[in-house]
Amino acid sequence: MRFTATPLAIPDVMLVGPHRFADSRGYFMVTYEATEFRRLGLPEFVQDNQASSVLAGTLRGLHLQRPPHAQGKLVRVLKGAIFDVAVDLRDGSPTFGRWVAATLTAQSAEQIFVPRGFAHGYCTLEDDTEIAYKVDNAYAPQAEVGILFSDPAIGIDWPVAATAAILSDKDRALPLLKDLGDAFPLRGVP
């Protein structure tokens, strides 16, 4: 596996490239190896999730869980393509409020590791897109928070106009980062 820093060099967000072995039958690849993650000081995962989006322009996010239920994620595309975003919300981080993005495709098989303390979201770039992601902590609905995808203070350059994005009612009603206040303590996020 190849681990590389993301283009904006926000610490701890990494692109993970599995090695693909192809022949006339198709291909084989290892998408996660606990020993390799452990060697780099990265977490082990406890849950696998999968999501499907019917239309290009479907936007999910920005989501995260408050401590002690914070989650790190390893995201990959099974079918189609996404514009995947991580926003640094770690208390005291020099890159607090900055975002980094990567285009992930099923064809490239590249993954992104989003550590604890980052809001996460993605926009589908193709119809019938499917993603799979591992998390290092269980889902805890009481700890779930989010930030509006179009928060101007963050300024994410999404590949879809805000008026054209396909959102859930829940994601459309998320607050701005400045409005979360004390409801969003990140102290203690490793």
Query: Using CA of residue 38, residue 41, residue 46, residue 48, what is the dihedral sign?
Result: negative
Q: Which of 27, 122, 133, 139 is catalytic?
A: 133
19 annotated active-site: no
Q: Which of 19, 27, 32, 63 is catalytic?
A: 63
Residue reference for tokens 């495709």: 105
Identify which of 189, 3, 160 has the alpha carbon closest to the alpha carbon of residue 88. Answer: 189
Q: Are 119 and 93 in contact (CB under 8 A)?
A: no
SS3 assignment, position 43: coil
63 annotated active-site: yes
Residue reference for tokens 């020099």: 94
Annotated catalytic residues are: 63, 133
